[in-house]
Amino acid sequence: MRPIIVGCTSDVLDQRLLDKCAGLGFEDMFNAPLTEKNIEEGIMPFIIKRQFTMLSFKVEKENSPK
C-alpha cells in the first residue's frame, strides 16, 4: 500500500510553492517545524482512515471461510 506522503517546509507556503509541488504525490503540505496541533488536525485523519482500511481487510480475511 502506498504511504501517505506529506511535505513540510520552512519556506513560505504560498500558491507558487503549492503549484510547484502539485502532481508530485504529496497528500498535503505543512509549514515546518510541524507542531503537535497540525499533526493532530492535518495528518492524523489520513492515518485513521488508513487504519480502518487495513483493519477491515484483516477482519474480512480472518472471517473468510477456509
Partner 1 sequence: MPKIAEEEKKEESPQELQLQASNSLGSKLHKPRCLIANDEEVQLMILDLIMTKHGFKTECCINGYDAFVKVQESLNNPDLMFDLVILDLNMPICGGQEACSRIDGLYNESIMFKDKAFVKLSAEQVINHMVVLPAQELLPNPNIIFEVPV
Binding stretches for partner 1 (CB under 8 A)? 1-11, 17, 20-21, 24-26, 32-34, 36, 39-41, 43-48, 50-52, 54-55, 57-59
- Tell me how far, at minimum, the Cβ of 32 lies from partner 1, in Å: 6
- Tell me how far, at minimum, the Cβ of 20 lies from partner 1, in Å: 7
CA angle, 18 then 24 then 5, to 5°: 90
- Tell me how far, at minimum, the Cβ of 43 lies from partner 1, in Å: 7
Q: How far is CA 54 from CA 38, 47, 49, 51, 61, in A?
A: 24, 10, 9, 5, 11
Grid coordinates in use for 26?
A: 504529496
